Amino acid sequence: MEMKIVYLCFFGFLAQFVDSIAGGGGLISIPALFAFGIPPHFALGTNKLGAIFGTVSSSAKFIQSKKVHFAMLKYMIPATIIGAILGVNTVLLIDQKILNIIVTILLFIVCIYTIFKKDLGSEDHFTGMHRKNIIIGASIAFTLGFYDGFFGPGAGSFLIFSFITFLGFDFLISCGNAKILNTTSVITSFIVFAFHGKVIYSIGIPMGICMMLGALLGTQLAIKNGAKLIKPIFIVISICFMLKLSLNIL
């Protein structure tokens, strides 16, 4: 049991280090929990508990560095909460293989677009707070809040991409905004999983402490280096996640 905790803490650290820079930490932490024989719903719930430590600490660093856009987020946070609650409550109702196919296709499109659009996220093109942007933002928040509650891995990457592509923020502000919404959905999802008794606290708490350390280190590097660090890691993580889901489908 002790060695299991050590391994899971290592993978938790690595997951949140990556997640704080480009999203996709669940690609590392959830398979690690599965590998040690933890049942799927307990793995998802326990991962949410651990992720709270990482996402909260990472969000705090982005807020401290003023790399978030609260005027937009105040409309997106409620939509994220609603989406996450619905996502957790419907996780048993949809065949996960279908979800894997959908997410794989979306990630392929995201990767190709990000690789070939050289100036993606290099500058801030946000056009301000008006009705169109608020509707787009709330729609993104609800959809990805639902996905994060239902499954999770890749939600941060999709959020970063959405903030850049549909709202015009640069990579760094998009990363900060995504982390705030990811924290919202993680906390909401954890509460619902905990209510249903699907959390292993003896694993989630020590794993979460290591996730916090990974998040702090990754966030510091992201803030310091900006798009030149975030963009390549974002592409690599998206490709890895896409390949993993493709293997699951096959």
Q: 204 and 6 in contact (C-beta within 8 Å)? A: no
Structure tokens at 62: 């982005």
How high does pLDDT run on average in the chain? 82
DSSP three-state, residue 93:
coil
pLDDT tens profile 91-146: 757 665 665 566 566 656 656 655 665 555 455 567 778 898 999 999 999 999 99
248 confidence band (pLDDT: 50, 70, 90)? low
Structure tokens at 67: 């790399």
Q: Given this model, what pLDDT does residue 92 score?
A: 58
Has residue 247 got a pLDDT over 80?
no
Calculate the CA 122 to chain-centre distance: 21
Q: Given this model, what pLDDT does residue 117 score?
A: 58
Q: Work out the average pLDDT over 198-217.
A: 94
DSSP string, 169-202: --HHHHHHHHHHHHHHHHHHHHHHHHHTT---HH
Which has more pLDDT, 215 or 229?
A: 215
pTM over 0.85: no
Which has more pLDDT, 2 or 183?
A: 183
Structure tokens at 136: 């787009």
DSSP three-state, residue 119:
coil
Structure tokens at 211: 């996730």
Structure tokens at 80: 């994220």
CA dist 76 and 18 (Å) reads 24
Q: Work out the average pLDDT over 150-165.
A: 81
151 confidence band (pLDDT: 50, 70, 90)? confident
CA dist 49 and 41 (Å) reads 13
Has residue 49 got a pLDDT over 70?
yes
Domain boundaries, the chain: 2-249
DSSP-derived secondary structure letter, 129: S
172 confidence band (pLDDT: 50, 70, 90)? confident
Q: Work out the average pLDDT over 183-207.
A: 94
pLDDT-wise least confident of 55-69, 86-100, 114-128, 219-233: 114-128
Q: Given this model, what pLDDT does residue 211 score?
A: 94
Q: Given this model, what pLDDT does residue 110 score?
A: 58
User: Could you tell me where the DSSP H helices lie in the chain?
Assistant: 2-22, 26-35, 40-64, 70-89, 96-116, 131-150, 155-165, 171-195, 201-225, 227-249
Q: Given this model, what pLDDT does residue 31 score?
A: 76
